[in-house]
């Protein structure tokens, strides 16, 4: 059984994961309009993945006797100056999500909810992977600089991007 504080905190994370899905979706749409098909496909996949993260939390809350809540979402940004700025914002967003997960883990320890603490370890590992992926992408973008040919190759290559975290526990 979840405490009220844990249930509320998990519901906050459900909203954050849903907003993350929307952030990626908005970036996919922007990239597609810019003719960056590879980046768009990558972002669409990431949007789906974030929605799956949300659903995993929904199921957990309900299975533990709580009531998962779907709330209003903050609308994501819809325009980006450059694809580099977009990925920089994405990296910052993933760091925000990591901080949110870390705070949630802290609450589970304070509430002595070890089952939820254990459940959240998957999210901790996943966020390390998400941050590493975003950082790898930014590093590649910084190598490209203003080179349009480099952008073309990056757009094509991002479809195959795979970053394995040093603590990945559940390969997908």
Q: Is the pLDDT of residue 114 over 60?
A: yes
Are 5 and 111 in contact by the 8 Å Cβ rule? The answer is yes
Give the up-direction half-sphere exposure of residue 170: CA atoms within 13 A in the CB hemisphere.
Answer: 10
Summarised one tens digit per residue, pLDDT across range 82-103 is 888 999 999 999 999 999 999 9
**pLDDT greater at residue 133 or residue 147:** 133
The CATH number of residue 86's host domain is: 1.20.1260.10
80, part of any domain: yes
**pLDDT greater at residue 29 or residue 172:** 29
Average pLDDT score over the chain: 91
Q: Is the pLDDT of residue 164 over 70?
A: no
Q: Which residues constitute the domain of residue 85?
A: 4-160
Ranking 54-63, 106-115, 128-137 by mean pLDDT, the lowest is 128-137
Question: What pTM did the predictor assign?
Answer: 0.88
72, part of any domain: yes
46, part of any domain: yes
């Amino acid at each position: 059984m979840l405490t009220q504080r844990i249930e509320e905190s998990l519901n906050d994370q459900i909203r954050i994961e849903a907003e993350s899905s929307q952030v990626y979706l908005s970036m996919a749409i922007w990239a597609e309009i810019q003719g960056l098909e590879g980046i768009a496909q990558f972002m669409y996949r990431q949007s789906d993945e974030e929605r799956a993260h949300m659903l995993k939390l929904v199921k957990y809350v309900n299975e533990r006797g709580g009531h998962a809540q779907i709330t209003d979402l903050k609308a994501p940004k819809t325009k980006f100056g450059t694809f580099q700025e977009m990925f920089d914002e994405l990296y910052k967003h993933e760091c925000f999500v990591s901080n949110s997960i870390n705070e949630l883990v802290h609450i589970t320890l304070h509430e002595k909810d070890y089952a939820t603490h254990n459940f959240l370890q998957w999210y901790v590992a996943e966020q390390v992977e998400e941050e590493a992926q975003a950082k790898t992408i930014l590093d590649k973008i910084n190598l490209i600089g203003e080179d349009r040919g480099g952008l073309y190759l990056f757009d094509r290559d991002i479809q195959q991007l795979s970053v394995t975290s040093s603590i990945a526990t559940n390969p997908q």
